[in-house]
Amino acid sequence: MKRTHVQEFVPLALVCGLALSCMNLFAQQVTPQNRVPVGHPVPSWSQPRSIPNGPLPQAVSPIIDPLVSVTIGKSIEGVDFNGSNCGCLPPDTNAAVGGNFIAEAVNFDFRVWDKTTGNLLLDEPLSTLYGASSGGDPYVIYDDIVGRWYVTAFDSSDAGLFIGVSNDGSPLDGFVTYDLTNVGGFPDYQKIGYNRDAIVISYNDFGSGGGNAAILAIDKTALLSGHLVTYNSVPKAQFRAMPPAQMHGSVPGDPMWFVSTDGSDSGGTIMRVTKMTNVLSNSPTFTYTSLPVKQYQNATTADQPGGPGSVTVFPNTTTTQVQYRNGHLLTAMASSLKKDHFTYPKGLFYQINVASGTPTLLKQGTIDPGKGVAVQMVSIDENAKHKLGLTWIESSNTEYLSMWVGSTTKVARVDVAPGGGFFFDSFRLGDYSSTVLDPADGLTFWSANEYIGSDGSSDIWRTHIASFTLK
């Protein structure tokens, strides 16, 4: 979703307010029209910043169980607010791993690190990568089938998307850029996946589709030969998120899979699994499977030291990343549950078997560190030993917004980027996080997420990248 530039939001809020014409979710260095959610309050950061009433309590360090089975490898400080080449809120935190490289794309910035040493190898704005200005909202993935990197973002007009395709397996060797102009006029919240035959981008079509999801499929063989061949299609109505899977190990002729909530991000009891066949066509076949799950609902409350209820829970109940491993689909989201009276967001994750072609729910679970702890920005992947690795942000009245990684058991969790300060600009937490598996060994997870540092009033958000293995 489009970022909001700090200096620009106040006039935007005054223009849009509660007007019904303001149907899209966010704005970023663009004309302030159609970019604010209907009925959404003016962000706190459009008001003068002030310290909460009374002294801030001392944040309590999270307790790590001595039986923790998570081993942390590299821990890398990622792009922060001051270095994002944007001055935008909030971050689009995501990263990918391939070869000996880690790449992160956040707002208007793209960085690459050496996977072994953690040394920074490249730091450049998206305008350099694409050779033209970009509206942001970037996403980076590594296609381990063909050994290429893809970086997508809004193009210069925000009416289309850029896709950068690396020249080879190194993100340091440059990208060939294509401007995808046939994506509806304002393709918001784009997510990218792939199978053996296609690169697939889902997006919210605010140009002609009322914000519902639309699909762009790109012929991968043609693209890697220097020719752009695309196909457009529209699935059953789905708002905000219908992310395609990154289909590791896919073979020719495989379908494309998607996992989302059932049409709405307000809540429900169904996870929708969508199978797309005849992918390279303007008339693919979509098959929908509704999987009953525990009731989930948009959460209402998240705390931080010195500010009960002062951390936004927007957005939640939204899947943002889907991985395909070993015949399984993996996805996660933040949402609240009945046992907590639908109050605090928790980390909900799902493992779905599609090996037979008919989806069945293998596992659903919850990341719940305890009463009053909010869990947000969750992502998940599965390693070669069928163990699940996740990242999330958590906060409570004793813990500032912190980045955690771990597995699905309460003892298997580590605070890799402890929060150090108050989250002042709480109008929206972020858009997503990412967890990916290192294709070099099939065992090491790499996660990227957000946290708040001690200088959160000036360096408003930070991101972090960590690798970890599970015993």
Tell me if 138 is assigned to some domain.
yes
- Provide the pLDDT for residue 110: 98
What percentage of the chain's residues is helix, strand, coil (to nearest 5)? Answer: 5, 45, 50
Kind of pairing, strands 374-382 and 388-396?
A: antiparallel
- Provide the pLDDT for residue 2: 57
Q: Tell me: do 42 and 96 sit in the same domain.
A: no
Tell me if 403 is assigned to some domain.
yes
465, 467, 445: which is closest to 383 by C-alpha?
A: 445
Number of structural domains found in the chain: 2
Q: Tell me: do 35 and 95 sit in the same domain.
A: no
* Cα–Cα distance for residue pair 402/419, rounded to 1 Å: 4
Q: Tell me: do 31 and 128 sit in the same domain.
A: no
- Provide the pLDDT for residue 85: 86
The CA–CA distances, whole Å, from 419 to 222, 310, 349, 393 equal 46, 15, 24, 10
- Provide the pLDDT for residue 413: 93
- Provide the pLDDT for residue 184: 78
Q: Tell me: do 111 and 225 sit in the same domain.
A: yes
Q: Tell me: do 113 and 219 sit in the same domain.
A: yes
The CA–CA distances, whole Å, from 271 to 33, 144, 297 equal 33, 27, 13
Extract the tokens encoding 181: 């102009």
pTM: 0.87
DSSP lists the bridge partners of residue 97 as: 102
- Provide the pLDDT for residue 455: 95
Tell me if 67 is assigned to some domain.
no
* Cα–Cα distance for residue pair 216/324, rounded to 1 Å: 19
DSSP lists the bridge partners of residue 76 as: 465
The CA–CA distances, whole Å, from 292 to 209, 240, 359 equal 28, 21, 12
- Provide the pLDDT for residue 31: 26
* Cα–Cα distance for residue pair 240/83, rounded to 1 Å: 28
Q: Tell me: do 307 and 385 sit in the same domain.
A: yes
418, 463, 466: which is closest to 446 by C-alpha?
A: 466
20, 31, 29, 32: which is closest to 210 by C-alpha?
A: 20
Exposure b/e, 304-314, CB count within 10 A at least 16 = b: bbbbeebbbbb
* Cα–Cα distance for residue pair 234/214, rounded to 1 Å: 5
Torsion angles phi and psi, residue 220, rounded to 5:
-70, -45
- Provide the pLDDT for residue 241: 73
Q: Tell me: do 16 and 140 sit in the same domain.
A: no
Q: Tell me: do 246 and 316 sit in the same domain.
A: yes
Q: Tell me: do 172 and 210 sit in the same domain.
A: yes
Tell me if 68 is assigned to some domain.
no
Q: Tell me: do 233 and 146 sit in the same domain.
A: yes
- Provide the pLDDT for residue 279: 98
Do 428 and 461 meet the contact criterion of CB atoms below 8 Å apart? no
* Cα–Cα distance for residue pair 79/345, rounded to 1 Å: 26
- Provide the pLDDT for residue 18: 24
- Provide the pLDDT for residue 32: 24
Extract the tokens encoding 471: 């015993």
Tell me if 56 is assigned to some domain.
no
Q: Tell me: do 99 and 40 sit in the same domain.
A: no
Tell me if 206 is assigned to some domain.
yes
Residue 363 lies in domain: 74-470
* Cα–Cα distance for residue pair 312/379, rounded to 1 Å: 19
- Provide the pLDDT for residue 6: 52
Host H or E run for residue 375: strand 374-382
* Cα–Cα distance for residue pair 129/99, rounded to 1 Å: 20
Q: Tell me: do 321 and 199 sit in the same domain.
A: yes
DSSP lists the bridge partners of residue 465 as: 76, 448
Extract the tokens encoding 263: 């049409």
Tell me if 58 is assigned to some domain.
no
Do 7 and 29 meet the contact criterion of CB atoms below 8 Å apart? no
- Provide the pLDDT for residue 3: 58
* Cα–Cα distance for residue pair 449/245, rounded to 1 Å: 20
- The amino acid at residue 313 is V
> Apex CA 32: angle with CA 134 and CA 155, to 5°?
15
- Provide the pLDDT for residue 265: 80
Host H or E run for residue 163: strand 161-166
Tell me if 63 is assigned to some domain.
no
Instruction: Indicate which CATH number applies to the domain containing 372.
Output: 2.130.10.10
> Apex CA 411: angle with CA 407 and CA 413, to 5°?
50
Burial class of residue 465 (count of CB atoms within 10 Å of its CB; 0-12, 13-18, 19+): buried
Give me the residues of the chain with pLDDT under 50, please: 7-68
